[in-house]
Amino acid sequence: MRSTWVTPGGVHPPENKHQSVTMPIGSLPIPEKLLVPLSQHIGAPAKACVKVGTKVLKGQKIADATGAVSVPMHAPTSGTVTAIEDRPIAHSSGMSAPCIEITTDGKDTWIEHKGVVDFEHASPQALTKTIADAGIAGMGGAGFPSAIKLSPGHRRPINTLIINATECEPYITADDSAIRERAAEIITGIGILSHILGNPVNILIGIEDNKPEAIAALEPHVADTGISVVSFPTKYPSGGEKQLIYILTGKELPSGQLPADAGMVCINIGTTYAIKRAVVDGEPLISRVTTMTGNACGINRNYETLIGTPVSHMLAHSEFNEHACSRLVMGGPMMGFSLTSAEVPIVKTTNCILAPSYSEIPDDEPAQACIRCGMCAEACPASLLPQQLFWYSQAEDHDRLEAHNLFDCIECGACSYVCPSNIPLVQYYRSSKGEILKAREEKVKSDHARERFEFHQQRMEQAEKDKEAKRAARREAAEKAKATVAANSGTEKEGTGPVPGSAADIIAAAQARAAAKQVSPEEQQAKFERSIAGAEMRVQMATDKLAETNAKQTEDQKNILNAALEGAKQKLEQAQARLAEHVKKHSEQVK
């Protein structure tokens, strides 16, 4: 057996996984309407490529990826696009975002699709493109576009491929049940990954020892493949990327680095299944396994759920009792976020819907004072001091927070879980992180402004100095000239000619310079018109950019773009005003 390493801290919350694995993965009736958000992943939102009224087939692309970090979206079933607008989506802040609504036709008609079975003969680039085109983003939680992880570049050769089958959060069994039922396909998926990454030396499937059935299901398929199934003691949060890397390799990922920097790629096991479907079967990512669990539901099981299925649809088929439900959580009880409405859709990263009863997860008790008992520090997998972070977070002492490595907090919630005073520690960390990032941004901005100002100031001073020097030179020259003139007048009799640099010369030279500088009115007008055209173009560009990014970007980005647009508009107005003035002056002159 491979040796594993033990992470510091960690907690052992009740697992509550057995409820949802009594039945095999099921499927729900196709809901009447599906709501596919354009942003289900990390990166730029996709851009709709269908219109309201477009008939779509299952698997048809309905939104294009935009930019380098993005994924496309596909129709999860056949039907008609009935709306493209902002709808509430699953997000910790309960916000709305652009979605494509598809009214389903119940026929579930596939678009024509085809995969490659002998992927070994395909080029890694082509396979990566297939994965990108299938809209696959990490299905373990974060939703990072998988194709990007698979293109680490030549400077970062990959020697270790880690498949994350930890599923360390309580209640969730989506990966567990998928492994039990689809081990062969998963291993094929891993084979594809291995091929793309140039057959890394180590291929490790990291799995907690509380999933013996899944381990047993994998074992026969990994024989002679070079893939090792590595099981280790169950502890939350072993499934954090950094934690898993340490458990499997004994290496710590240096703060701020990506696994690829250390020659590793970490992929969730659910994602490997999607990759197999995409490559071998030619199916884009349009459904996933989601665990429906919690005592407020009579039926606890896993479903192959279409992306875009409203949570309410799942609840309706799970004997859900609203009055018994203490809260509705998307994700697990440790890191999931609460939903305020059940109308939000299941997305590519939704591994669980948890509807606990009040006895399972009661309402939070009011927080008491921190008694500095240190239980949080004992639980922290990153070896932070959560109680100190909490203290400085309350005091808004950003320097201390950074010195205590706030940004190495993975927000796993282990500290809040054990805190006897019920302090919502993670909430404090999140908001402090936000504040610090904002402060940093502002600092960068103000640094820029300061630099610009200082540069401007310098230039002004320099210009002033130059002018002064010129003036001095002129004065000197004038004096000299005067003296020469005086001398000349005194020595006229001697009959010497005019001396170079006399007053007359200077005046003549100045006139010549002015004449040279003076452009013809026509030329000037042309220049103004050019600058207006330029300014107009910039306004157009800024408007386009703003329209393109509108709504899906953060407030900040929008503000920046708006400011750019305003600036461009002002420049345009100035240019127009100058032209108008010029024309007026010129016509007056002509008169």
Partner 1 sequence: MAFKQITSPHAHAAQNTSKVMQLVLWATVPGLAALTIQFGWGSLINVVLAVVTAVACEAAILKLRKRPVAFYLQDYSAVVTAVLLGLALPPLAAWWVVVVGSMFSIIIAKQLYGGLGYNPFNPAMVGYVVLLISFPIQMTTWITPLSLLPDGVSHPGIIESLGIVFGGYSPADGVTGATPLDVFKHSSGLVVDQIYESNPLFSQAAFAGVGWEWVNLGFLAGGIVLLATRIFTWHGPVAMLAAIAVMSLLFWDGGSSESPGSPLMHLFSGASMMGAFFILTDPVSSAVSNRGRLIYGALIGVLVYIIRAWGNYPDAVAFAVLIANFAAPFIDNYTLPRTYGHTDRRRATEKEED
Beta-strand runs (E) in 178-285 = 202-208, 227-232, 264-268
Residues 3-32 that bind partner 1 (CB under 8 A): 8, 11, 13-14
Residue 536 contact, options ligand SF4, partner 1, none, Cβ 5-8 Å cut-off depending on partner type: none
Q: Return the one option of partner 1, ligand SF4, none that residue 257 interacts with (CB less than 5 to 8 A, by type).
A: partner 1
Q: How far is the CB of 368 from ligand SF4 (least distance, A)?
A: 8
Q: Which does 376 bind (CB under 5 to 8 A by kind): ligand SF4, partner 1, none?
A: ligand SF4
Give the Cα separation of 339 and 95 in Å (integer). Answer: 11
CB 379 within 8 A of CB 342: no
b/e per residue, 138-162, with b = 16+ CB within 10 A? Answer: bbbbebbbbbbbbbbeeeeebebbb
Q: Taking CB within 5 to 8 Å according to partner kind, which of ligand SF4, partner 1, none is near residue 385?
A: partner 1
**Rg for the chain, CA atoms, rounded:** 34
Largest CA distance in the chain: 125
Q: Using CB distances below 5 to 8 A depending on partner kind, what does residue 103 bind out of partner 1, ligand SF4, none?
A: none
Helix (H) or strand (E) holding 74: strand 73-74
Q: Which listed range, 96-104, 267-275, 325-333, 583-591, lies at the site for partner 1 (CB under 8 A)?
A: 325-333
Whose CA is closest to 271, among 146, 125, 372, 441? 146
One-letter amino acid of 298: G
Contact of 18 with 424, CB cutoff 8 Å: no
Classify residue 285 by its DSSP letter.
S
CB under 5 to 8 A by kind: which of partner 1, ligand SF4, none does 518 bind? Answer: none
The site for ligand SF4 (CB under 6 A) is made up of 370-376, 379-382, 384, 386-387, 390, 409-415, 418-421, 423, 425-426, 429
Tokens for 115, please give them: 């995969």
Residue 399 interaction partner, one of ligand SF4, partner 1, none, beta carbon < 5-8 Å per kind: partner 1
Alpha-carbon span 378 to 371, nearest angstrom: 14
Identity of the residue numbered 443: K
Residues 188/280, Cβ–Cβ less than 8 Å: yes
Q: State the DSSP string of 320-331.
A: B-GGGBS--EES
Strand partners, 290: 303
- When CB distances are held under 5 to 8 angstroms depending on the partner's kind, the choice from ligand SF4, partner 1, none that residue 329 binds is partner 1
Smallest separation (angstroms) from ligand SF4 to the CB of 94: 22
Minimum gap (Å) between residue 140 Cβ and partner 1: 16
Assign 284 to helix, strand or coil: coil
Near partner 1 in 362-391, by CB under 8 A:
363-366, 368-375, 377-378, 381-385, 387-388
Smallest distance, ligand SF4 to C-beta of residue 352, A: 19
Position among 74, 182, 313, 404 found at the interface with partner 1 (CB under 8 A): 404
Per-residue binding string, partner 1, 163-202, x by CB under 8 A, is -------x--------------------------------
For the bound state, the minimum distance from the C-beta of residue 333 to partner 1, rounded and expressed in Å, comes to 4
Beta-bridge mates of residue 292? 301, 353
Of the candidate spans 49-57, 177-185, 272-280, 334-342, the one that interacts with partner 1 by CB under 8 A turns out to be: 334-342
Q: Is 359 in the site for partner 1 (CB under 8 A)?
A: no
Q: Of 71 and 172, which has the nearer Cβ to ligand SF4?
A: 172
Structure tokens at 396: 């808004």
Q: What is the DSSP string of 1-28?
A: -------S--B------GGGGSS--EEP
Query: Does 422 participate in binding partner 1 (rule CB under 8 A)?
Result: yes
Rule CB under 8 A: say whether 297 interacts with partner 1.
no
Tell me the two tokens of residue 541: 């560009």
Q: How many residues belong to the site for partner 1 (CB under 8 A)?
A: 77
Query: Binding partner of residue 427 among ligand SF4, partner 1, none, CB under 5 to 8 Å per kind?
Result: partner 1
Cα–Cα distance list, 451 to 224, 308, 448, 457, 495 (Å): 62, 48, 5, 10, 60
Stretch that binds partner 1, among 46-54, 68-76, 149-157, 339-347 (CB under 8 A): 339-347
Strand partners, 267: 163
Site string for partner 1, 249-278 (x = CB under 8 A): ---xxxxxx---------------------
Q: Which of ligand SF4, partner 1, none is residue 390 near (CB under 5 to 8 Å by kind)?
A: ligand SF4
Where would I find the beta strands (DSSP E) of 431-508? Answer: none
Report the site for partner 1 in 55-94 (rule: CB under 8 A). 92, 94
Rank residues 148 and 377 by Cβ distance to ligand SF4 and give the closer one.
Answer: 377
Q: Could you tell me the smallest distance in angstroms from the CB atom of residue 391 to ligand SF4?
A: 9
361 binds partner 1 (CB under 8 A): yes
